[in-house]
Structures are given as C-alpha cells and as structure tokens.
Structure 1
Amino acid sequence: MSKLMFVFGTRPEFIKLYPVIMEARRRSHDVVVVNTGQHREMLDQLLDEMGMAADFNLKIMTQQQTLADILARTLSPLDQVVAQVKPDHLFVHGDTSTTLAGSLIALYRQVPLSHVEAGLRTFNKYSPYPEEMNRQLTGVLTDYHFTPTEVTRGNLEREGKDPSRIFVVGNSAIDMLRYTVRDDYTHPVLDEVGDRKLVLITVHRRENISELGQMFSAINDVAERYAETHRLVYPIHMNPVVRRAADEYLTSSNIRVIEPLGTTDFHNILSRSHLVMTDSGGIQEEAPSLGKPVLVLRDTTERPEGVAAGTLRLVGTGREDIVREAARLLDDPEEYQRMATIANPYGDGTTSQQIMDVMDKVIADAG
C-alpha cells in the first residue's frame, strides 16, 4: 500500500481530515500524520479526545504570531519531514496557512497533492482573509481536487483545472458527526438550558473583528427579547480581542458564555440546539445535517449552496439585520420548520469513502 501523508495545523482541518485518515487506515494504507501546531491547546485537546497522536508535531505556534510568521515557521520544518518520510501522496485540507505551506512543500518535493474541500470561493481577495487566497493558491498547486458540490466543481473548472482531476464528494465534516454525536450525551450546559430552546452562538472571524460591537449588541438584544423561551450559549473563542468585546457588549444574563468546547461536546450541543448564529465556516455544513437553521453573521460566504438551498441565511453583521432575521425564525414556527427540514447540500456522510475510492484507483493506475 502507498504511504499517505496528512498535514494539518488547526482544529477545523483535523475535524475534516480525521474521517479520511481513519478510512485510509481501514484500507491498510501507510498513514503519516503531521501536525504543524498552528493552533495548540484546542487542537491538542481534540487529538487526545479522538485518541490520535501525530507522527510529527512541528509546534510552530508562538504568541501573537503574524500570518508571515506562521508560513515562515512551517515551511522549513515541514520540508524536512517530507524529505525524511518520502510520502507517495500528500493531503491538505481547506484554506489555512498550513494548507498553503503543505501545498508548497508538495510542489518543492514533487509529491502529488490532494486538496480536501477544494473549490470554495468568494472571489473577494480579503473575505475571508487570508483564507480566500490560501485556497486559491493551493488550487493552482493541487493534483486531485476533492470538492464538496457541483458549485465548487464549477469554480474549479472555470479556473481551468483539469475536469478529470475534480471529484465531487460532499464534505467530510458530515462524516465526522458519526464519530461524535451520541444519543445518551449529557452536559451541565444542557441541564442549565432546561426546558428553554438553545440558541448556539459562535463568533471569531478575523474579518469581523471591527464589527464585534454591532454583532454582540445584536446577540444581546436577542437574548433579552427571548429570555423566557430561549437560552443563548456562546463557547467563546480564545482570541483576546473577541473576549474583550464580549465582556463589554454581552451584558444579558440570558447569555451563557463558556470556554471553548471539545469537538464531541460541541457537536452534541449543536445537535440539541434550536438555532445557530455563527460566522464559522464548518458549522454552515454541520448544522444543516442535524436539522438546525443557520444565520450566517458574515457579508459573504464561500458556501453559497447552503444559501441557495435555504439551510443557511446570510444576514451580515449589522445589529438590526441580525435581530430581524433571528426574530423571523424564532417568532414563526412555520418559517423555522421550513428551513430546518431542507436537505443538506453538503453530502450524506460518505465523503471519506469516496475520497479513498479515488485514491485507490489513482494508486492502482500508477502501478
């Protein structure tokens, strides 16, 4: 069997590569796992949670590192690992600085590159930033594009990518839910919510930092307006700027701000939520598969399929807009039910098997 290297450095990357890694191992491939350490505490916690140890941990993270720091501190150590291991194939995911670094090293070492979750685009250089250009640049270097939907396939084809190297496989985030969501799950936060309905909040994106006052004020308004029937829960991001803004604007006693959750905890609380308000990317894919409407607190999204299907509603970052759209769902059961029952456009939970079916054929054809 071939030697397959998987490179990641953040929690979202690992969440979506984990099912692919497990499927590769199930098929007896020689799997090498590389963690750049772009994120530290949350990613290490997740690796422990899933019982997986990286074969190499580059531990690049430093305090207040810049985007240039991340890329510079990743390239040389990763190059040394790839030179030592000599993988037959290298996998990256998504759109992080680790993704771009892994793609460059695959080029430099002439290792075939697979990009999982390829083809997402806003075509706005600075939104999301720097992710949009990370994934566009990675796309130029990729040999095999594993893309979630026909829309993302179209993006790649319009950019001139070889159609025979593009594979629509859905999103592996849906696969991950099979490993995490449990019927018998309990948590003190759920006990605290009690009979009220849970509104789950996540806010952290870099391009939204200047809008945090508006966004948190809107969330505070929603918390006050629905205090008798709903309870808002916000697993707060580690970013100190986000935390300071939350302290200033989230004044309602109906908002429960908690420390970041592990993936199993988050997925299970997500599965028991009523509504999700988020600027995250991955949650836009996960929540609809659990029947949860999503208000996307961003001006653009690289997941237009969800907006077109109706599982996502792009509401921006303005205070009045956020409150209005939340009220629209919380006040109208028919509108809520319509959105909650739309089929998820991001796949059926078989993405990792489809990826490895392609890889097995590629390997067999290579002889």
Structure 2
Amino acid sequence: MKSIMLVFGTRPEAIKMCPLVLELRGREEARVCVCVTGQHKSMLKQVLDAFLIEPDYDLSIMKEKQTLFEITISILNKISGVLEKEKPDVVLVHGDTSTAFACALACFYLQIPVGHVEAGLRTYDIYSPYPEEFNRQAIGIIANYHFAPTEKARQNLIGEGKNPSTIFVTGNTGIDALKTTVRADYSHELLEWASGSRLILLTAHRRENLGEPMRQIFRAVKRITETYPDVKVIYPIHLNPLIREIAGSVFAGEERIRLIEPLDVIDFHNFLARAELILTDSGGIQEEAPGLGKPVLVLRKSTERPEGVDSGALLLAGIEEERIYNSVSGLLNDNNLYNRMSNAGNPYGDGEASRRIADILLGQKDK
C-alpha cells in the first residue's frame, strides 16, 4: 500500500485537490492523509465542506494581515512534525501558493518525494504573478513527479531540463470538480436579481494588483455599468481588507454592482455557468470558465495559461482602466467575437485528471 499525503491551504488549491483526494480515497491500494495549512481559513472550509472532506491535520496558520515571511516560517515549523510522524511515500502539493512552496521545501529537507499537481505553468517573469511565479518554479526544482495540465506546460518543463520520464500530461483537476458542482436545477436570489440582464462575474484579488491597478480595474467595471444599462455585476469580494477598502470607495452607491461575501465552490461554479462573461485575475477561473463556454477577460499583464489565449477562450485585458473598458465593450458589442470565445472549447482537460494522477502514482500507468 502506498502512503500519499496531500497538502493544501487556500480555496483555489482545495477546489483542485479535493477531486484528487476523493479519487485516491477510492483506491484500495492507497493510504491517504490530508493536511491543510489554513492559509485561507474560512474560504478553505467552504470547499472542504462542499466535498465532504475532513482533513487529518489542520496547521491553522492564518493570522490577520500575515506576511509572506510569516506564512512560510509558520508552515515550515508546523508541518515538519506531521511529515516526520506520517512518513508518506509521496506528498502532493498544488500549483503556486506559499503553502505549496513551503511544504515542498519541508519535504526536500526531509528527503520525501514530492508530486507537483498543475506543474509547468510559467510566465518567466519572477514578479508576475508575485509570489506565485517564484513558488512554482522553485517547486519544479524539488518535485519528483510533474503532473502537467497541458502539453505546453510539459514543454516548459522539458525546456528547463526536467527529466521527461517524470512529466505526465494529465489535464487539470479543476475541470474534474465542475462535473460534480454545476447543477441544472440550481437557483439563487442573486441570480434572480440579475435575471434579464447581462451578468458579469468579477473576481480580483492578486497581490500584484493591490493598490492603483485594482482601482483602475474597478473604475473600468463601474464605467461599463454606466455605459450599458442592461449589465449587472456580481463581485464575490476577497477577505483582504485592502481590497474591500478600494472596492467600497469605487463602487459606493452603484446599484447594479453587488459586492458579496465569498461564495462556496458549488455556488461559485453555478454563478460561473450563468454569467454572460467573466472578469478575473484568478488562475483557476481561466481554466474553469472555458469549460462552461464563458468568455474570460484576464485582468493581468501576463498569464501562465497561454493555451486559453491561443485557443481564443481567454483575452488578456491588462490592468489599465481604458484597456479593460474597451475589451469588455468589444465583447458586449460584438456578437461574433462573443460567440467565437464562447465556442473556443477548453484546452485544459476533460475531467479525468484525478484518475490519471492516481493511476500514475499507484503504478497502473507508465505515462
């Protein structure tokens, strides 16, 4: 029996790791242990509850206004004892968070093999996104298994000199989650509020967008609602008090912009499925929304998910007010452009990534 530990700490990680937890727990040949760091406390619990997963360990590291120093040091201090007690054959981390980086580093110190889920994403600008680009490159140095979501990600890893025999193209586990969360009979009072309007779903939380970039993003969104009376916006706002302060000042008094508390994963995926288009600086949403036929405008200077841009499902809208406003207006005004983006398809997977990763870890497939 193979001992497999999965470690994650944020809501986006949990959405993508929970399907893998469930897949591995369904395999008789796997002994599965789940450790959460609590990097996002309440938002993480929402996802765990939605997937009916009770972690074996909770490091509970979250503090108000915690810094990258505090996150990294706290995880290293607290996870070492868990790893030494469990002695897993392999530890799976996800993506590009400080949780994933710190856990991979702890495993390196203890010489425990690491599997990197969603490996090989790159911008090759170490400060964009920050600190995520550094985190995923550093994990790539440590990892023994690289579970790449796409062929492009695999080529990035090969170009960096990774051993091709350790790289596996699996698709993205986030697409797996959509199979169980999106429901035809779903209803919500906010969707009733938006009924008859073109609904824009907004998410914005990136550390590098804090400050003036976020003000420009919000001003562009406000202008869109002023220009198009049939548009309404729902913004599940991040818990970061700086983001809430900026959003409150820019959106004050806007009746067609609703700031709401973060949604649980089932609610959020169903909001995605019913939106007209998505404005986001998130990584995972760039993968999820194309699977639902929703155009995505990426509120960043660059993206480590170029497959979506190449396919036509994503449009890089940047962080400047005028550029964002023009990009959204173009989609709202041009039905042909909207239809092309809606029908571009999803380059990130077919919903079978968790099964493939489990097969590889348990020796049921070579590649």
Work out whether the TM-score is over 0.5: yes
| 1:224 alignment partner AA | E
User: What secondary structure sits across from 2:210 in the alignment?
Assistant: helix
Structure 2 matches for 1:220-259, cutoff 5 A? 220-227=222-229, 229-251=230-252, 252-259=254-261
Q: Which residue of 2 aligns with 1:17?
A: 17
Whether 2:264 is the aligned partner of 1:275: answer no
Q: Which residue of 2 aligns with 1:216?
A: 218
8 A contact 2:6–2:33 mirrored in 1:
yes
Between the aligned partners of 1:73 and 1:245, the Cα distance in structure 2 is 29
Structure 2 matches for 1:79-90, cutoff 5 A? 79-90=80-91
Between the aligned partners of 1:353 and 1:48, the Cα distance in structure 2 is 22
**Residue-by-residue CA offset, 1:56-101 (whole Å, 9 max, x unaligned):** 0011111111101001001121110011011111100001111011
**Residue-by-residue CA offset, 1:107-133 (whole Å, 9 max, x unaligned):** 122221100000111111111000000
Q: Which residue of 1 aligns with 2:36?
A: 35
Between the aligned partners of 2:195 and 2:306, the Cα distance in structure 1 is 34
8 A contact 1:224–1:254 mirrored in 2:
no
**Residue-by-residue CA offset, 1:132-167 (whole Å, 9 max, x unaligned):** 001000000000000011111111011110001101
Between the aligned partners of 2:60 and 2:11, the Cα distance in structure 1 is 14
Between the aligned partners of 1:232 and 1:116, the Cα distance in structure 2 is 33
Between the aligned partners of 2:53 and 2:99, the Cα distance in structure 1 is 19
User: What secondary structure sits across from 2:81 in the alignment?
Assistant: helix
**Residue-by-residue CA offset, 1:156-197 (whole Å, 9 max, x unaligned):** 011110001101111111000112111111111011111112
8 A contact 2:24–2:358 mirrored in 1:
yes
| 1:6 alignment partner AA | L
8 A contact 1:10–1:37 mirrored in 2:
yes
| 2:100 alignment partner AA | T
User: What secondary structure sits across from 2:185 in the alignment?
Assistant: coil
| 2:296 alignment partner AA | V
| 2:287 alignment partner AA | E
Percent of counterpart pairs with the same letter? 50
| 1:21 alignment partner AA | V
8 A contact 2:121–2:305 mirrored in 1:
yes
| 2:114 alignment partner AA | L
Q: Which residue of 2 aligns with 1:111?
A: 112
Structure 2 matches for 1:326-337, cutoff 5 A? 326-337=328-339
| 2:260 alignment partner AA | I
Between the aligned partners of 1:202 and 1:12, the Cα distance in structure 2 is 12
8 A contact 2:19–2:176 mirrored in 1:
yes
Q: Which residue of 2 aligns with 1:199?
A: 200
| 2:269 alignment partner AA | H
| 1:190 alignment partner AA | L
8 A contact 2:39–2:61 mirrored in 1:
yes
| Cα deviation, residue 312, structure 1 | 0.4
Q: Which residue of 1 aligns with 2:304?
A: 302
8 A contact 2:2–2:362 mirrored in 1:
no
| Cα deviation, residue 218, structure 1 | 0.2
8 A contact 2:46–2:265 mirrored in 1:
no
Query: What is the aligned counterpart of 1:314 among 313, 316, 329?
Result: 316
8 A contact 2:122–2:156 mirrored in 1:
yes
| Cα deviation, residue 45, structure 1 | 2.2
Between the aligned partners of 1:308 and 1:48, the Cα distance in structure 2 is 36
Between the aligned partners of 1:14 and 1:46, the Cα distance in structure 2 is 6
| Cα deviation, residue 41, structure 1 | 1.0
8 A contact 1:114–1:143 mirrored in 2:
yes
8 A contact 2:18–2:53 mirrored in 1:
no
Deviates more, 1:248-257 or 1:192-201: 248-257
Q: Which residue of 2 aligns with 1:265?
A: 267
Q: Which residue of 2 aligns with 1:5?
A: 5
Between the aligned partners of 2:135 and 2:99, the Cα distance in structure 1 is 9
